[in-house]
């Protein structure tokens, strides 16, 4: 091989002008190979684009023997001249002059032979699915969205605040927790009362994986002003749904001096920014997913970016559901926690727009939410999206120490002194919310199942790799 610097496939396809007629070097994996006894065409993909680059092997220059190891899934290095393509389906191609095979892939055993494997099949081969066009498109969009999250908050002067993954507080009651322990499970130490003696455990007390970084996030916000977290979150709820994972990533901004209106404004601006970022930076991938899975995807994304979200009190939402005349699986009355079918009715059928539902009954929301003057509802705000249901859950927090203390006592929560200190010393009005990152990726990719938008999904009875 000659000493030529490697160029990424995305660059050669999207921006070929400076390379046309020149010798280039590409490295990647073979997606497919076809041809006849005069010429062979290889589709080469290096992960930089959903599009593959066509390599043309003239069999006057290369023998069948040279190409024997160039199978679907093999990894190769090719050097040759970039030319405008005569054929349909691509703008440029490489006329190969030199070939090196790094590793072949046996056609008898390589699982990703044909195009159009089902998503279910690929889920069983999750360790290899990043090599498919579909999943690599999802992963590139996922990356772009993660970058957009950091860029949005950084540009607004928010600080990235790292909250712990191992915690000794289950304050949110947001979901069942995974316990973290080094105690011998077959020979548990017990105390005088016959209970497990956690003083012998690694941390000297019971500990778990976090279900939310919010409470610690409030400590950051009441010092730095505006912070956000972006990290893994763990919930041991047995929800076998297309919208729940046992391990997912959550973004939780928390802002001092923000009231509920400011919180809603931020949530709407944030989510539109992220979607817009993907529309601008992931055109090829979104187009590919639209073409193969979901024709209406680009239109749906633009619609959300271009329209104001509806803002509606819970009580109004319940009235609309009651008057809809629809038969819901779960009956509707004031006080219920909305099920996905209710959320989707409001968003998809009634308003046909994203909805921010506010002022929920206090009984169905977390203890830290600010009580309204009616004494019955709290300043919660959930953002409801088409096809997804709840994508964001947030609220203005109770800043009054006495009221918060009363709620803590009512719920029988212990070990909360550190949290109550935010209200004891220099308490301020503040607000925040949590966005499930995979639900955002789900929306932007148009996928149906949350297990298809994270590289290694964890869900009940599944913990591969």
Stretch of 27-35, 298-306, 315-323, 392-400 contacting Mn ion, by CB under 5 A: 392-400
* x-marked contacts with Mn ion along 336-375 as a string, rule CB under 5 A: ----------------------------------------
CB of 190 to Mn ion, least distance (A): 37
Of 127-135, 343-351, 391-399, 454-462, the window that binds Mn ion (rule: CB under 5 A) is 391-399
List residues bridging with 34 in a β-sheet. 41
217 is an interface residue for ligand ATP by CB under 6 A: no
Cα dist from 76 to 26, 66, 107, 140, 449, whole Å: 8, 12, 16, 22, 33
Q: Any contact of residue 245 with ligand ATP (CB under 6 A)? A: yes
In the complex with ligand ATP, which residue's Cβ is closer, 82 or 271?
271
Interface pattern 377-396 for ligand ATP (x via CB under 6 A): -------------xxxx---
Q: How far is CA 26 from CA 9, 131, 164, in A?
A: 7, 17, 43
Q: Which residues, at least 6 apart from 403, have a Cβ–Cβ distance to it below 8 Å?
A: 371
Shortest spacing between CB 350 and ligand ATP, in angstroms: 20
Per CB under 6 A, which of residues 103..142 are in contact with ligand ATP? none
Stretch that binds ligand ATP, among 12-20, 60-68, 134-142, 430-438 (CB under 6 A): 430-438
- E-strand ranges in 304-413 read 310-313, 355-361, 377-385, 389-396
Stretch that binds Mn ion, among 102-110, 248-256, 343-351, 393-401 (CB under 5 A): 393-401
For residue 132, which of 270, 339, 285, 324 has the smallest C-alpha distance? 285
CA–chain centroid gap for 179, Å, is 24
Residue 391, binding choice from ligand ATP, Mn ion, none, Cβ under 5 to 8 Å by partner class: ligand ATP
| Among the residue ranges 89-97, 131-139, 144-152, 245-253, the one whose residues contact ligand ATP (CB under 6 A) | 245-253
> Can you tell me which of 217, 317, 354, 393 binds Mn ion, judged by CB under 5 A?
393
Count how many Cα atoms sit within 13 Å of the Cα of residue 429 in the half-sphere of its side chain: 11
Rg of the chain over Cα atoms, rounded to whole angstroms, equals: 27
Q: Is 436 in the site for ligand ATP (CB under 6 A)?
A: yes
Strands of the sheet containing 179-180, edge to edge, are: 166-167, 207-209, 179-180
List C-alpha distances in Å: 404 to 351, 400, 421.
35, 6, 11
**Closer to Mn ion at the Cβ: 201 or 343?**
343
DSSP state of 58: E
Work out whether the CA dihedral 178, 184, 185, 191 comes out positive or negative.
negative
The phi-psi region of residue 43 (left if phi > 0; otherwise alpha if psi is between -120 and 50; otherwise beta) is: beta
Q: What number of chain residues touch Mn ion (CB under 5 A)?
A: 1
Kindly identify the residues of this chain, within the stretch 169-198, that bind ligand ATP according to CB under 6 A: 174-175
Query: Would you call 247 helix, strand, or coil by DSSP?
Result: strand
Residues 247 and 458 sit within 8 Å (Cβ to Cβ): yes
Q: 339 or 428: whose CB is closer to ligand ATP?
A: 339
Q: Which is nearer to ligand ATP, 346 or 392 (CB)?
A: 392
Q: Where do contacts with Mn ion occur on this chain (CB under 5 A)?
A: 393
Applying CB under 6 A, which residues contact ligand ATP? 174-175, 235, 244-245, 248, 250, 390-393, 434-436, 438-439
């Amino acid at each position: 091989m000659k000493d030529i610097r490697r160029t990424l496939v995305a660059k050669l396809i999207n921006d070929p002008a400076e390379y046309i007629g020149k010798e280039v070097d590409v490295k990647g994996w073979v997606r497919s190979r076809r041809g006849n006894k005069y010429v062979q065409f290889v589709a080469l993909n290096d992960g930089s684009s959903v599009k593959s680059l066509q390599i043309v092997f003239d069999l006057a220059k290369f023998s069948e023997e040279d190409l024997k190891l160039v199978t679907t899934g093999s990894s190769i290095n090719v050097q040759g001249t970039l030319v405008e393509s005569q054929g349909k389906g691509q703008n440029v191609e490489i006329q190969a002059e030199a070939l090196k095979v790094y590793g072949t892939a046996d056609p008898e055993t390589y699982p990703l032979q044909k195009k159009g494997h089902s998503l279910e099949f690929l889920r069983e081969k999750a360790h290899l699915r990043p090599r498919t066009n579909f999943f690599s498109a999802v992963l590139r969009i996922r990356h772009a969205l993660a970058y957009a999250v950091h860029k949005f908050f950084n540009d607004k002067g928010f600080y990235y605040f790292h909250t712990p993954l191992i915690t000794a507080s289950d304050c949110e009651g947001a979901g069942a927790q995974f316990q973290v322990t080094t105690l011998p499970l077959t020979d548990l130490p017990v105390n005088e009362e016959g209970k497990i003696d956690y003083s012998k455990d690694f941390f000297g007390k019971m500990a778990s994986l976090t279900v939310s970084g919010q409470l610690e996030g409030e400590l950051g916000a009441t010092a730095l002003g505006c912070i956000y977290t972006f990290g893994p979150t763990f919930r041991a709820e047995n929800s076998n749904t297309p919208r729940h994972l046992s391990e997912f990533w959550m973004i939780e901004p928390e802002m001092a001096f923000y009231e509920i209106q400011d919180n809603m404004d931020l949530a709407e601006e944030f989510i539109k920014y992220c979607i817009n970022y993907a529309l601008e930076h992931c055109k090829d991938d979104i187009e590919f997913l639209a073409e193969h899975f979901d024709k209406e995807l680009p239109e749906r994304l633009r619609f959300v970016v271009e329209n104001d979200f509806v803002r509606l009190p819970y009580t109004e939402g319940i009235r609309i559901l009651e008057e809809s005349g629809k038969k819901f699986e779960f009956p509707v009355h004031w006080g219920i926690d909305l099920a996905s079918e209710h959320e989707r009715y409001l968003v998809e059928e009634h308003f046909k727009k994203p909805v921010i539902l506010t002022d929920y009954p206090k009984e169905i929301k977390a203890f830290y939410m600010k009580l309204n003057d009616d004494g019955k509802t709290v300043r919660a705000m959930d953002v409801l999206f088409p096809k997804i249901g709840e994508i964001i859950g947030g609220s203005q927090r109770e800043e009054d120490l006495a009221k918060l203390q009363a709620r803590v006592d009512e719920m029988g929560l212990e070990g909360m002194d550190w949290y109550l200190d935010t209200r004891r010393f220099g308490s301020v009005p503040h607000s925040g919310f949590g966005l499930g990152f995979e639900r955002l990726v789900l929306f932007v990719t148009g996928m149906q199942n949350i297990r298809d938008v994270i590289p290694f999904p964890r869900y009940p009875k599944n913990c591969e790799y």
